[in-house]
Chains A and B, each alone.
Chain A
Amino acid sequence: MTGSPEIRLAGALYEGLTTLDPSTLEPRPGIADRWSISEDGKLFTFHIRPSAAWSDGKPIVAADFLHSWQRALTPATGGSYANLLFAIRGAEDYFHGKQTDFSTVGIQAPDTATLKVELTTPCAYFLELTAFPTYAPVRTDHIKEHGLQWTSPEHLVTSGPFMLNQWKPRQHIELIRNPHYWDASFVKLDRVTAMPLDDLNTAYQLFLKRELHWMVSIPQARIDEIKRNPDYYALPFFGTYYYRFNVTKPPFDNRLVRKALSLGTDREEITKHILRSGQTPVASYCPPVAGYKPIEGLLYDRNRARQTLAEAGYGPNGKPFPPVEILYNTSEAHKTVAEAIAAQWRRNLGITASARNVEWKIFLNDMRDLNYQVCRSSWIGDYGDPSTFFDCFRGGDGNNRTGWDNALYNQLAHTSRQESDSTMRYSMFRKMEKILVEDECPILPIYRYVNQGLLAENVNGWYGNIRDLHNLKYIWMED
């Protein structure tokens, strides 16, 4: 395996109240074997299965969840995913320090086997969230005891099908079956080794020698050769590659300009001739998920693009268009895309466009401080609901980073949360998407990510899915 194994392996090490079906990604019982939901959809009562145990043999109790979630909601120990817990009543206030008493948060553990969770508004995908690593239980007593050392193989106690046997940074991580896992008899793999390989070419050679059975990304330079390999897979992925406009500065404070540039971008050229590995060109933002169907967006139309730019007051009969610079973080892939798009804009709209790269951390700074005109971006959904995409562009959201703040969009985002009917919600999302990519265009979607990799033919129980989630619990090897 390659990639960032620490995150990928979290699912194998930790199991939350629920887990996701490896193929359909529907929530399934995990540490909780059953649950009930109140009429209004706001109160979830989870029953922890009696056989649930930590890898050190201690039983998993409701309080473990309570403490873990409290830890996740404490800024000093939490991370950038804390907002996923904000569906819970009072969680956001507690996190922001408006409320210091944790008992005000809607989580209760009346007994060792029962966990009651109260939400602010009904949440259609809450059972999916409880499968997310942020909701997984950790051994807070161990963290207290061992401090920084708690993640070491000697000290790490897990709740999932596997436990950590060895961790050699930059060499390999070795997982072995957790004998105390409630479903241990189902787990087929005795041992899983993950290798962080920065050099994908080396990884590919290791794969060819069958020293690796699964590669989660491929060396793009050898794409043509790899495509012919029967072990190659390419699946649609729950992520979108797009450009942001800085709407606070001219000329991109003008929505017609943004619209013109979106219309003047030939996404198919990018995916077909430059990327060439199965990415889908899109003018929409959120991928289709859980029944949501995205709108079409502004498809490539050179004439309309020019017309729109003229409407905005630029072009042969208007002002000259100022030079545009696309900012991207240093990477060969971003560079080719940026240069191709700059060329398209020059060609289609007659504007002066160029691309400039900066180092990653500088890029992040520039993006946060709105110190750019156009910049490359991407978003990968955290859970199987469109809100994971649309929430970002609420005014003032930390992930917005365009300076765009639209009252109607904000309003729709808010009401969609209160709504429990999925048809109603999805129609609101479609409205939001229309604002985002057709009317206002603070962003310019380019393509849908593709999930490419290589999987040895003797690996079984591996299901392709849009979120690239593969619970090692279900995987087994044929001899």
Chain B
Amino acid sequence: MMPRIFRRLLYAPIVLLLLVTMTFFLVRLAPGGPFSNERDLPEEVESALNARFGLDQPLHIQYMRMVGGLLRGDLGPSMKHRDRTVKDIISDHLPPSLLLGTTAILLALWVGITIGIISALRANTLIDYLGMGATVIGISLPAFVFGPLLQLIFSMKLGWLPVAGYGNASQLILPAVTLSLPFAARFARLMRAGMLEILSEDFIRTAHAKGLSEFTIVTRHALRGAILPVISFLGPAIAAITTGSLIVEKIFNIPGLGREFVESALNRDYTLVMGTTLVYGTFIVLCNMLADLSYAALDPRVRDAEEVA
């Protein structure tokens, strides 16, 4: 296992440097600058701002300075929210995103795996049809419909949960459910398919022939293999769930990084774009690494194949 981790850890900075470089040039290639607004900015103010953020320098100097800053861990101040540094913004807004994302992914895994297993064990029965029908709805129901629907039912009609906001556990429930829905549905489908495939394997017949109970067969013999499709989707899912939380953050007014990420790009907030992209980039690299490693941990064949390769 170790050489693979090391290799991946070696690749990570290269991947991130590429990401940073592409981001740097792409945002500057996009028309419009960070300071333009509906009301015209006097030339003097604009050039003062450009000087303050080093945008008056040639591109390669800007690039070197940016990389230098990154190496020192200094992302600079935001160009839009000029009284806040990018670091502040990330440290303010990343924790809510992480908390929401983690809750949502755990919820999605729990619900998805449960439904998937039950559907597979009761394949082609009413329970299975209901479960899979629910997943179709889950995949196709967009957050901007599902979120307000939950608000309407659980906050307005029943009054059980707060409409929006961030700070206590009860405020986390509705957004986490909204965010997890499509992923839970996908997990359920992957789990069902994986389970059905494993259950048709020869070694399951062997397990039956040994006289094992249904429960032991499912938990000990089938689950590990059946969960692999879920695991391989987990990396992209975690990435998608944390970067794609924009709409849910908006609906439930969660001060997450998703909105900062999108708005920074729209605002041409060069420094904030860099900061948020770097955070998400690192995150995605880590998630994929983790998914790969857990894949190897679950499947001894993958582990050995990597040792030899």
Binding site for B on A (CB under 8 A): 75-76, 78-83, 95-97, 148-152, 168-171, 195-199, 201-202, 205-206, 208-209, 211, 359-362, 364-366, 368, 378, 397-399, 401
Contacts and interface: CB of A to CB of B under 8 A. Distances in A.
Interface string B8-52: 000000000000000000000011110011111111110111011
A170 B253 contact: yes
Interface string B143-164: 0000010011001100000011
Interface stretch (B77-85, B110-118, B119-127): B77-85
Interface in B225-241: none
A205 B42 contact: no
Nearest to A366: B31
Given A80-B42, A361-B266, A148 B253 contact: no
Contacts of A361: 30-33, 36, 266-268
B56 interface: no
B266 A198 contact: no
Given A171-B253, A209-B155, A361-B267, A148 B82 contact: yes
Given A151-B83, A197-B253, A361-B266, A205 B44 contact: no
A280 to B, nearest CB: 22
Contacts of B47: 75
Interface string B83-117: 11100010011000000000000000000000000
A201 B143 CA distance: 14
B42 A362 contact: no
Contacts, number: 122
A401 B251 CA distance: 36
21 contacts: A75-B47, A80-B37, A80-B41, A95-B44, A148-B85, A149-B83, A151-B83, A198-B259, A199-B253, A202-B163, A205-B152, A205-B156, A206-B164, A359-B266, A360-B266, A361-B267, A362-B31, A365-B36, A366-B31, A397-B40, A401-B40
B164 A96 contact: no
Nearest to B78: A148
A171 B36 contact: no
A240 to B, nearest CB: 13
B31 A209 contact: no
B44 A75 contact: yes
B182 interface: no
B250 A199 contact: yes
Contact of B42 (A171, A196, A398): A398
A138 to B, nearest CB: 12
Given A95-B42, A148-B85, A171-B166, A76 B52 contact: yes
Given A79-B45, A362-B31, A205 B36 contact: no
Contacts of B83: 148-152
Nearest to A330: B266
Nearest to B82: A148
Given A80-B37, A199-B251, A365-B36, A148 B163 contact: no
B44 A364 contact: no
Contacts of A368: 36, 40
B254 to A, nearest CB: 8
A76 B250 contact: no
A78 B47 CA distance: 12
Contacts of A97: 44
A365 B253 contact: no
Contacts of A199: 164, 250-253
B114 to A, nearest CB: 30
Nearest 3 CB-CB pairs, A to B?
A: A361-B32, A398-B40, A75-B44
Given A359-B266, A361-B30, A202 B45 contact: no
A397 B40 CA distance: 9
B194 interface: no
**Most chain B beta-carbon contacts within 10 A, residue among A97, A149, A171:** A171
B138 interface: no
B131 interface: no
Contact of B250 (A198, A209, A401): A198
A237 to B, nearest CB: 16
Contacts of A81: 39
B165 A148 contact: no
Contacts of A80: 37, 39-42, 45
B44 A202 contact: no
B92 A169 contact: yes
B275 interface: no
A202 B42 contact: no
A202 B251 contact: yes
A399 B40 contact: yes
Nearest to B260: A170
Contact of A209 (B30, B156, B259): B156
A360 B266 CA distance: 7
A76 B48 contact: yes
Contact of A169 (B32, B38, B84): B84
A165 to B, nearest CB: 16
B255 A168 contact: yes
Contact of B32 (A95, A168, A362, A378): A362
Contacts of A168: 92, 255
B42 A198 contact: no
Contact of B255 (A151, A169, A360, A364): A169
B253 A195 contact: yes
A211 B51 CA distance: 44
A361 B29 CA distance: 12
A390 B277 CA distance: 43
Contacts of B266: 359-361
Contact of B93 (A170, A197, A208): A170
A395 to B, nearest CB: 14
Given A202-B251, A361-B33, A365-B36, A211 B41 contact: no
Contacts of B255: 168-171
Contact of A399 (B32, B39, B77, B250): B39
Contacts of A195: 253
Given A96-B44, A202-B252, A361-B266, A209 B163 contact: yes
A205 B166 contact: no
A186 to B, nearest CB: 30
Nearest to A156: B83
A222 B89 CA distance: 33
A95 B36 CA distance: 19
A152 B83 CA distance: 9
B36 to A, nearest CB: 4
A390 B268 CA distance: 30
Nearest to A202: B164
B27 to A, nearest CB: 10
Contacts of A211: 163
Contacts of A169: 81, 84, 89, 92-93, 255
Nearest to B159: A209
A398 B151 contact: no
